[in-house]
């Protein structure tokens, strides 16, 4: 009888471990689709905002030596939904500008530049996932962005989220024109 109970206990423990592995896998898939879960270190139930960001795909555009990948960014702010398309260089410019405003952004995971193999599908997929996480971290870091309840408000705070045709080509800044960039400290108060 004791041996049977021990065998049953081992079987239950193995089953429990398998369920934990499955639960972790499903949670990571859900986070990839919907964003960080409220219990994550990135966000909490209190700070979770109205803006959701996904980067569902990346595609190669152009031809020959001018070909490059463009990342589709799907945004939802309140009831507004829209897509924007950005190259890696535009993400890099955003990251550089945000690091100047707040040194804490340096700690955010951002995919590095690559000069060789940058069109490799595995690299592009890894970048897509990491850029999605990066944008979500930016939103979590500045609640003023995360709590924008319309496309208009989000675009007013950060021009990176505007359609390319709406961005003033003379002023290639990622920040909205109304925001002063000549702040005396590193605090990001322009939101």
Query: pLDDT of 156-191, one tens digit each?
Result: 999 999 987 755 544 455 555 444 444 444 444 444
When the pLDDT of each residue in the chain is averaged and rounded to a whole number, the result is 81
> Could you give the domains of the chain?
47-166 (3.30.1520.10)
Query: pLDDT of 9-46, one tens digit each?
Result: 999 999 999 999 999 888 877 777 666 555 555 544 44
pLDDT mean over 121-141: 93
Residue 117 has what pLDDT? Answer: 75
The DSSP secondary structure of the chain, one letter per residue, reads -HHHHHHHHHHHHHHHHHHHHHHHHHHHHHHHHH---TTSSS--TTT--SEEEEEEEEEEES-GGG-EEEEEEEEEETTEEEEEEEEHHHHHHHHHHHHHH-GGGGGS--PPP-SSSTT-HHHHHHHHHHHHHHHHHHHHH-HHHHT--SHHHHHHHBGGGS-GGGS-SS---SB-TTS----SSS-----
Residue 34 has what pLDDT? Answer: 63
pLDDT mean over 125-129: 94
């Amino acid at each position: 009888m004791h041996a049977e109970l021990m065998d049953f206990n081992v079987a239950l423990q193995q089953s429990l471990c398998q369920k934990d592995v499955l639960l972790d896998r499903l949670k990571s898939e859900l986070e990839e689709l919907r964003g960080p879960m409220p219990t994550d270190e990135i966000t909490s139930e209190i700070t979770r905002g109205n803006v959701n960001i996904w980067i569902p795909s990346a595609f190669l555009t152009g031809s020959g030596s001018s070909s490059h990948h463009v990342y589709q960014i799907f945004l939802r702010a309140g009831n507004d939904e829209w897509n924007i398309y950005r190259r890696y260089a535009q993400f890099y410019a955003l990251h550089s500008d945000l690091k100047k405003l707040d040194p804490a952004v340096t700690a955010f995971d951002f995919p590095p530049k690559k000069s060789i193999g940058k069109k490799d599908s595995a690299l592009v997929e890894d970048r897509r996932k990491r850029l999605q996480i990066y944008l979500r971290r930016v939103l979590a870091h500045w609640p003023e962005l995360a709590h924008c309840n319309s496309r208009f408000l989000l675009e007013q705070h950060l021009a990176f989220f505007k359609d390319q045709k709406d961005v003033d080509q003379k002023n290639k800044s990622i920040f909205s024109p109304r925001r002063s960039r000549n702040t005396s400290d590193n605090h990001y108060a322009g939101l």
